[in-house]
Structure 1
C-alpha cells in the first residue's frame, strides 16, 4: 500500500504558526510540506551574519536585507539565509516579502560543521545542498525570483541562478574568483572574497 502524504495549504500553514504548535521547531514550509531545517552551525552562522552585514552597508538606501526570515510564495514559505528585498522595510510589518518584492535570495552551504560534545568533536555533514540546489530552484523559479545564489563554501564557489522560466533557471553560472554583479544593481560589484569563499 502506498502512503499518501498530506499537502498543506498556505492558509493552513499560517493557522499552524498562529496556534503556536510549531513555536521553537526548526521547520519551514516548502511546496506544501513542512520540512525540517538543519541546525545552524558556527561557520554557517558566522558566514550568514558577515555577508548580511556587508550587503547592508553596500546596499544602504537601495534594498532591505533580511537574514533567516520567511518569504511568502505560492505554496511555500521558506526561510532563505539572506533575502535582498525592496524598500521601504515597513511594508513587511503586515506580511513577509512576496516574490515581486525580492531582488535575489542567498543560501549558504558550509563545508561541514564541527561540533563539540564533552571532550569529543565530530562533524555534521551538510545535508541541505541537495534541497537548495534542486527543490528550492523549482520553487524560486516558478515564483519568478530573478536571482538565486548558492554559496558553496566546501567547494569554494558561488552558483548564480538567473533568468527564471517556469520551474527552472535558464542561466546557471559558477564563480570561483573575481567579482559578481547582481542583476538588480548593475553598478555594484561584489568580490567573492566578501562572500567568505577564501
Structure 2
C-alpha cells in the first residue's frame, strides 16, 4: 500500500491579501513567509524596549534621508514579513500605494530573544534571496548585534558580530555611527 504524505498549502501574496481583506485573519498576528501563513511570536517587553531604542536612534540619525518603519509589512516576491524595523528610501509618500519592495529597503532589523534561531536562519535566507542589502539581528540574550551584508542567492557574504563596546555604521549611511550600547541602554 502506498503511503500518501499530506501536502502543505502555499498561498500567494494576493491570496493572503484577500484573506486579510475579508477578515479571516483579523484576530491573529500573522505574516506570510515563502507562501506559508505563520503565527508571529508575541512581542515581549524587553524586545519592545530595545526595538524602540534602535528605531529612535535610526530616526534621529537619518532624518530627511530615510523613512524608519516599525512592525509594518514589506512586499517580497512570495512573502510579506513584518520586520521589527525597516529603514526605507524616501519619499515616504510612495508607500501609500505599496509596502516597501526590496529595492526600497536600505536596512532591515529583527530584535530577537525567543526567535533568534529563526531570525538567523529562515529570515536571513529570505532577506538574502530578496537582495536586501543589509540585515541586522539584535540579540537580546547575548547583548550583541549581528550584522549581515552583501546578499547572495541563499545567504549573506559577510557576517559580523558587534559587542556592546563597539559602534556600527549602516552601509547606506556610512557617515553615521551607532554605539551598540545605545541599543541596550536602559
- Tell me if structure 1 keeps the 8 A contact 2:169–2:178: yes
Equivalent-residue separation in structure 2 for 1:18 and 1:62 (angstroms): 33
User: In the alignment, what sits opposite 1:196?
Assistant: 184
1:40 equivalenced with 2:43 (yes/no): yes
User: In the alignment, what sits opposite 1:68?
Assistant: 71
- Tell me if structure 1 keeps the 8 A contact 2:47–2:140: no
DSSP-derived class of the 1:171 partner: strand
Q: Deviations over 1:124-176 (max 9, x none)?
A: xx1x2121111111110111100000000101111001010111101010111
**Distance apart, 1:41 and its partner CA:** 1.2
User: In the alignment, what sits opposite 2:157?
Assistant: 170
Runs of 4+ in 1 over 4 A off after TM superposition: none
Q: Tell me which of 137, 149, 174 is aligned to 1:150.
A: 137
Q: TM-score, normalised by structure 1?
A: 0.89
Q: Tell me which of 8, 15, 26 is aligned to 1:23.
A: 26
User: In the alignment, what sits opposite 1:115?
Assistant: none
**Distance apart, 1:24 and its partner CA:** 2.8
Equivalent-residue separation in structure 1 for 2:117 and 2:22 (angstroms): 31
Aligned residues: 182
Equivalent-residue separation in structure 1 for 2:76 and 2:58 (angstroms): 23
- Tell me if structure 2 keeps the 8 A contact 1:153–1:197: no
Q: Deviations over 1:22-68 (max 9, x none)?
A: 11311111011001111111111111122211211111001000000
**Distance apart, 1:86 and its partner CA:** 0.4
Q: Deviations over 1:1-29 (max 9, x none)?
A: 32210111111111111112111311111
- Tell me if structure 1 keeps the 8 A contact 2:129–2:154: yes
Structure-2 change in CA distance of 1:44 and 1:161 (3 Å): same
Q: TM-score, normalised by structure 2?
A: 0.94
- Once the two structures are superposed, the pairs formed by residues 28-177 of structure 1 within 5 Å of their partners are 28-110=31-113, 126=114, 128-176=115-163, 177=165
Structure 1 vs Structure 2 CA RMSD: 1.2
User: In the alignment, what sits opposite 2:170?
Assistant: 182
Equivalent-residue separation in structure 2 for 1:197 and 1:100 (angstroms): 32
